[in-house]
């Protein structure tokens, strides 16, 4: 501590240098990225399979635009606007092609021709003929044109790009701008996974700015109310500024960008950093009262720092342990939250030591603190209740635990990407409009591979088996017929023989006769995204409702069962692209919650065992610190909040946060026991030393975490609610449960005397 005081200005300069050096990284970190792939580590087998699928068949992200013309889509004005939009979209860097009734082609005796001619007829009869032709087209009908001809679906296919995640927002924004400009007078809801991610990015950026501004404002007001000294306010805000900039700076330099989970970083670092920082002025006042007003400032500052450094270091280490436990998660984004939140909290402690030293030596800590009658009243009530109504409080604690456990049993593990945004968001409104007006539009991709002893997936038996699979799959709720390479084969066969029934299975003879036409189709890229060059791999896309991960998992299992029944070993179909990666989240969420919680609990136990050098106190600390996690899970169950990507982190984070005040309580309690005090004496000593700080830090948490409930991303709203509830439960655990446990398990030397003390 002497070194810190002596070299405080040099340390402050070094701190400033580090922060300035990390500003570039922090700037890069503030560009949001909520793509599905950021949630997974690169070694994840499902992510590798996803990349392999994209390398074979191209980018599977599409932007869907629905148009509704009550007088019919096949009108000159409507088709002209569609053509204008299609030309503009295909000119966008990052758009591969556009699929619509305009791009549909018809093979004929003289070659391929577009279904809709360049010069659209104006004669009503000719337009009716064009509409009928479109509705009879085996690929257009039901996919790009509704059966009544009044609705059209335009599908913008994005290109496979090495930096696609970084380009997604721009591509979606440009596609949206074209749609809004071209179809200004026509309803044109837009949907697709990329649209949702882009909406999440915008919401994340908005939330980040909101969280930063409001959190700083709330913390400023609270610190001012507590200390009424501008130097302490400035030092406290400096602490959280250093913590946030170091956290985000390192985060950005490592190539990461904020997302719907890591947007929590600034609020977490701010609230937890300032909760530790407030202990420093309290320690100053305590040291000054003990040493007297005439004591030299340096001696008071040294005594204050020595009094606070051990418990604050312990609380920081335990909080960091809670965060670092998240690195056990198989999800990259949760690992990032744990690592960089721990870095931010650690940086905040260093900043507290340096900046508070500057304030202490500059005459910063006020000699008289504002009175906090509410806090004192709560401490007096706690003291009286523990002395006179211990049994009643114990019964209440047990009852709360049992009720919370019942609620925890109701918690479900699930995630719903579309559900991350509020109902009022354009993305959600557009999704509902497409679903209500058109129906299901979300692609469910499958890779088709040869069965045993076969090397192709396009022989007659394979095509017949796949048709049977599609027919059965379409009977499932939420699943509809899609598109695969066999549809192109059928289109070519029908063009060759107009009298052939479109639904008739292709014979080996017909397939042999189609080879020249198939070669032409390949040259025109009609099979580019559906079949590889040697026909050893194919793509089959069903259309499904936008489902939650658990519902989609159940649907994919049902489709696997149907495949076993219908394919007969001719081919194999494997869920590919986006769906299996999305489903994987459910398993990862559960692993993140369970592993994170128990690893955090174990790490914190070890830290407390080393820091307090008492197995008894370390064991006693476990129950009051698991209590807030159980209460939080109970609230989740009763409120119907799913355990998802963001809430999966809450267990480990809560136990890391909850233990902070426990450390201060046990540190004070241990000192009292070493001085030979009875249980009642230890209670008074601990409440006097750590009680007010515990209530104040809880107030900071309860003031800071609810800011997250103003988020645009619903799962972040849930995180804010749950951490607020957990903070209050943690205070109950420290004020009530912890003293009761310490009375039930006194140190050996006190024995029965401690139990009888009141």
* pLDDT at position 755 over 50: no
Nearest to 192 by CA among 740, 577, 484, 598: 577
* pLDDT at position 323 over 60: yes
Q: Per-residue pLDDT averaged across 356-378, rounded?
A: 73
pLDDT tens track for 697-725: 888 888 888 888 888 888 888 888 998 99
Contacts 24+ apart (CB under 8 A), 70-73: 70/150, 71/150, 72/127, 72/131, 72/149, 72/150, 73/101, 73/131, 73/145, 73/149, 73/150, 73/151, 73/152
Distance between CA 55 and CA 94 in Å, rounded? 16
Distance of CA 460 to the CA centre of its chain: 45
CA angle 678, 679, 683 (to 5 degrees): 115
Residue with tokens 């593990």: 413
Q: Is 608 within 8 Å of 670 (Cβ atoms)?
A: no
Domain 62-191 architecture: 2-Layer Sandwich (3.30)
Percent helix, percent strand, percent coil in the chain, to nearest 5: 65, 10, 25
- Which pLDDT score, from 0 to 100, does residue 423 have? 86
pLDDT tens track for 447-488: 999 999 999 999 999 999 999 999 999 999 889 888 899 988
- Which pLDDT score, from 0 to 100, does residue 371 have? 61
Tokens standing for residue 198:
């882009």
- Residues 6 or more apart in contact with residue 374 via CB below 8 angstroms: none
The Cα-based distances of 313 to 153, 288, 306, 756 in angstroms read 60, 22, 11, 35
pLDDT tens track for 330-339: 888 888 989 9
Burial 439-468 (b: 16+ CB within 10 A, else e): ebbbbbbbbbebeeeeeebbbbbbbbbbbb
Range ranked top by mean pLDDT from 115-124, 458-467, 545-554, 660-669: 458-467
Residue span(s) of the chain under CATH 3.30.70 come to: 62-191
Q: Which residues pair with 544 in a beta bridge?
A: 442, 479
* pLDDT at position 112 over 90: no
Binned at pLDDT 50, 70 and 90, residue 757 comes out as very low
DSSP E strand boundaries for 476-551: 479-484, 538-544
- Which pLDDT score, from 0 to 100, does residue 758 have? 45
Q: How many CB atoms lie within 10 A of CB 81?
A: 19
Looking at per-residue confidence, does 502 or 294 come out higher? 294
Among 48-62, 113-127, 558-572, 670-684, the minimum mean pLDDT is found in 113-127
Q: For the chain, what percent of residues have pLDDT higher than 70?
A: 96
Q: Is 154 within 8 Å of 64 (Cβ atoms)?
A: yes
The sheet carrying 479-484 orders its strands as: 479-484, 538-544, 442-450, 571-575
Distance between CA 644 and CA 329 in Å, rounded? 13
pLDDT tens track for 2-17: 888 888 899 999 999 9
Helix H or strand E segment including 155 = strand 151-158
The sheet carrying 190-191 orders its strands as: 95-99, 151-158, 62-68, 190-191
Tokens standing for residue 558:
């049902």
Distance between CA 323 and CA 307 in Å, rounded? 26
Coil, strand, or helix at residue 192? coil
* pLDDT at position 727 over 60: yes
* pLDDT at position 756 over 60: no
Tokens standing for residue 351:
């900043």
In the DSSP assignment, the letter for residue 705 is: G
Distance between CA 516 and CA 518 in Å, rounded? 5
Tokens standing for residue 190:
């837009």
Among 282-291, 367-376, 430-439, 696-705, the minimum mean pLDDT is found in 367-376
Q: For the chain, what percent of residues have pLDDT higher than 90?
A: 40
pLDDT tens track for 159-209: 988 778 778 889 999 999 999 999 998 899 999 988 988 888 888 888 888
Q: Is 514 within 8 Å of 496 (Cβ atoms)?
A: yes
* pLDDT at position 496 over 80: no
Q: Is 312 within 8 Å of 349 (Cβ atoms)?
A: yes
Coil, strand, or helix at residue 9? helix
* pLDDT at position 442 over 60: yes
Q: Per-residue pLDDT averaged across 248-252, rounded?
A: 95
Distance between CA 568 and CA 549 in Å, rounded? 29
Range ranked top by mean pLDDT from 212-216, 339-343, 712-716, 749-753: 339-343
Binned at pLDDT 50, 70 and 90, residue 106 comes out as confident
Total length of the chain: 758
Helix H or strand E segment including 616 = helix 615-639
Among the residues of 137-278, which ranges form H helices? 164-182, 193-227, 230-253, 265-277
DSSP E strand boundaries for 607-662: none
- Which pLDDT score, from 0 to 100, does residue 216 have? 79
User: CATH number of the domain at 2-35+199-418+583-756, please?
Assistant: 1.20.1640.10
Phi, psi of 156 (to 5 degrees): -90, 110
Nearest to 542 by CA among 60, 37, 104: 60
- Which pLDDT score, from 0 to 100, does residue 383 have? 93
Tokens standing for residue 735:
């004020």
Distance between CA 106 and CA 97 in Å, rounded? 18
Residue span(s) of the chain under CATH 1.20.1640.10 come to: 2-35+199-418+583-756
- Which pLDDT score, from 0 to 100, does residue 284 have? 80
Distance between CA 285 and CA 365 in Å, rounded? 7
């Amino acid at each position: 501590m002497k070194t810190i005081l002596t070299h405080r200005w040099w340390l402050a300069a070094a701190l400033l240098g580090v922060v300035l050096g990390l500003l570039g990284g922090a700037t890069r970190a503030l560009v949001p990225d909520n793509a599905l792939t950021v949630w997974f580590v690169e070694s994840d087998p499902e992510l590798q399979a996803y990349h392999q699928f994209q390398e074979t068949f191209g980018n599977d992200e599409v932007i869907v635009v629905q148009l509704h013309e009550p007088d019919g889509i096949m009108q000159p004005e409507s088709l002209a606007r569609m053509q204008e939009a299609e030309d503009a979209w295909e000119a966008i860097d990052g758009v591969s092609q556009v699929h619509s009734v305009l791009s549909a082609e018809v093979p004929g005796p003289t070659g391929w021709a577009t279904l809709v001619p360049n010069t659209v007829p104006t004669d009503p009869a000719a337009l009716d003929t064009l509409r009928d032709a479109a509705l009879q087209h085996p690929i257009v009908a039901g996919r790009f044109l509704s059966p009544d001809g009044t609705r059209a679906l335009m599908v913008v296919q994005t290109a496979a790009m090495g930096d696609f995640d970084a380009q997604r927002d721009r591509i979606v924004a440009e596609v949206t701008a074209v749609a809004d400009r071209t179809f200004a007078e026509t309803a044109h809801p837009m949907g697709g996974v990329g649209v949702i991610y882009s909406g999440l990015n915008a919401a994340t950026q908005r939330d980040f700015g909101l969280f930063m501004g409001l959190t700083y404002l709330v913390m400023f007001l609270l610190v001012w109310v507590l200390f009424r000294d501008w130097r302490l306010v400035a030092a406290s805000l400096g602490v959280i500024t250093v913590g946030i900039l170091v956290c985000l700076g390192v985060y950005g330099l490592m190539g990461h960008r904020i997302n719907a989970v890591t947007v929590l970083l600034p609020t977490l670092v701010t609230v937890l950093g300032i909760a530790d920082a407030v202990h420093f002025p309290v320690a100053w006042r305590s040291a000054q009262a003990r040493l007297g007003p005439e004591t030299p400032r340096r001696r008071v500052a040294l005594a204050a720092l020595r009094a606070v450094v051990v418990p604050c270091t312990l609380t920081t280490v335990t909080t960091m342990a809670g965060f670092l436990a998240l690195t056990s998660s198989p999800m990259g984004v949760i690992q990032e939250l744990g690592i960089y939140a721990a870095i931010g909290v650690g940086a905040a402690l260093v900043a507290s030591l340096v900046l508070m030293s500057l304030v202490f030596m500059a005459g910063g800590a006020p000699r008289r603190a504002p009175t906090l009658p509410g806090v004192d009243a709560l401490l007096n009530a706690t003291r009286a209740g523990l002395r006179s109504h211990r049994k009643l409080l114990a019964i209440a604690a047990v009852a709360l635990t049992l009720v919370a456990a019942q609620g925890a049993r109701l918690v479900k593990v699930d995630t719903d990407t579309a559900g991350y945004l509020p109902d009022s968001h354009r993305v959600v409104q557009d999704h509902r409009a497409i679903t209500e007006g058109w129906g299901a539009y979300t692609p469910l991709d499958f890779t088709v591979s040869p069965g045993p002893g076969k090397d192709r997936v396009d022989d007659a038996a394979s095509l017949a088996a796949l048709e049977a699979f599609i027919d059965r799959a379409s009977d499932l709720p939420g699943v509809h017929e899609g598109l695969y390479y066999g549809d192109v084969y059928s289109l070519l066969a029908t063009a060759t023989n107009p009298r052939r029934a479109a639904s008739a299975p292709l014979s080996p003879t017909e397939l042999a006769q189609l080879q020249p036409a198939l070669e032409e189709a390949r040259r025109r890229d009609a099979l580019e995204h559906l079949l590889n060059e040697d026909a050893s791999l194919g793509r089959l896309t069903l259309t499904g409702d936008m489902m939650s991960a658990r519902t989609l998992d159940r649907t994919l299992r049902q489709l696997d069962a149907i495949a076993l029944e219908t394919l007969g070993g001719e081919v194999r179909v494997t869920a590919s692209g986006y769906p299996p990666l999305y489903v994987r989240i459910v398993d990862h969420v559960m692993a993140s919650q369970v592993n994170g919680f128990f690893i955090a609990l174990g790490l914190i136990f070890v830290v407390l065992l080393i820091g307090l050098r008492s197995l008894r106190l370390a064991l006693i600390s476990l129950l009051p610190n698991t209590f807030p996690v159980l209460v939080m899970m109970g609230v989740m169950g009763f409120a119907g909040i799913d355990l998802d990507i963001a809430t999966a982190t809450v267990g480990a984070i809560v136990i890391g946060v909850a233990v902070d005040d426990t450390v201060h309580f046990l540190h004070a309690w241990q000192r009292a026991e070493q001085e030979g005090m009875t249980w009642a004496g230890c209670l008074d000593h601990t409440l006097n030393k750590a009680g007010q700080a515990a209530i104040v830090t809880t107030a900071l948490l309860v003031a800071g975490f609810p800011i997250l409930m103003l988020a645009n991303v619903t799962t972040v709203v849930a995180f804010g609610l749950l951490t607020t509830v957990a903070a209050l439960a943690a205070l109950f655990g420290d004020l009530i449960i912890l003293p009761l446990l310490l009375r039930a398990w006194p140190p050996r030397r006190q024995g029965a005397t401690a139990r009888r003390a009141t």
